[in-house]
């Protein structure tokens, strides 16, 4: 390994996002549960049997100044587009640029 520049950081722990449009309440929703099972329920109106599809990925960070921050990249991956949890690198706080803790 000759990555001397150090620009490639240790990946943060990221997780997939599920995207659904509920047939009952019709809200487009993104569900971000770390390590969660498949999404089958509408969290808004409690409709059962919703069908979720890949909706990108997210990672949580904790800023020393701003506390918990959730970064969601809602670009679903197919054929080279989009993002997977493996693509995440170190994140900075989007409010003050401090490194994630």
Residues that bind Zn ion (CB under 5 A): 22, 24-25, 42, 44-45, 47, 63, 65-66, 93, 95-96
Please name every residue paired with 63 in a beta bridge, in sequence order, or none if there are none.
Answer: 67
CB nearer Zn ion, residue 4 or residue 65: 65
Q: Which residues contact 71 (CB under 8 A, 6 or more apart)?
A: 58, 59, 60, 61, 91, 94
Q: Output the six-digit token pair for 47.
A: 């409709």
Task: Give me the least distance between CB of 67 and Zn ion, in Å please.
Answer: 8
Task: Give me the least distance between CB of 9 and Zn ion, in Å please.
Answer: 18
CB nearer Zn ion, residue 34 or residue 96: 96
CB nearer Zn ion, residue 71 or residue 93: 93
Burial 79-96 (b: 16+ CB within 10 A, else e): eeebbebeebeebebeee
Task: Give me the least distance between CB of 52 and Zn ion, in Å please.
Answer: 12
């Amino acid at each position: 390994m000759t990555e001397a520049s150090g620009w490639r950081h240790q990946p943060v722990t990221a997780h997939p996002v599920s995207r659904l449009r509920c047939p009952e309440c019709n809200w487009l929703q993104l569900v971000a549960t770390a390590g969660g099972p498949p999404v089958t329920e509408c969290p808004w109106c409690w409709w059962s049997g919703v069908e979720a599809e890949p909706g990108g990925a997210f990672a949580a960070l904790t800023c020393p100044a701003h506390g918990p921050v959730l970064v969601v990249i809602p670009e679903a991956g197919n054929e080279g587009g989009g993002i997977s949890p493996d693509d995440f690198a170190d994140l900075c706080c989007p409010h003050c640029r401090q490194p994630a803790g």
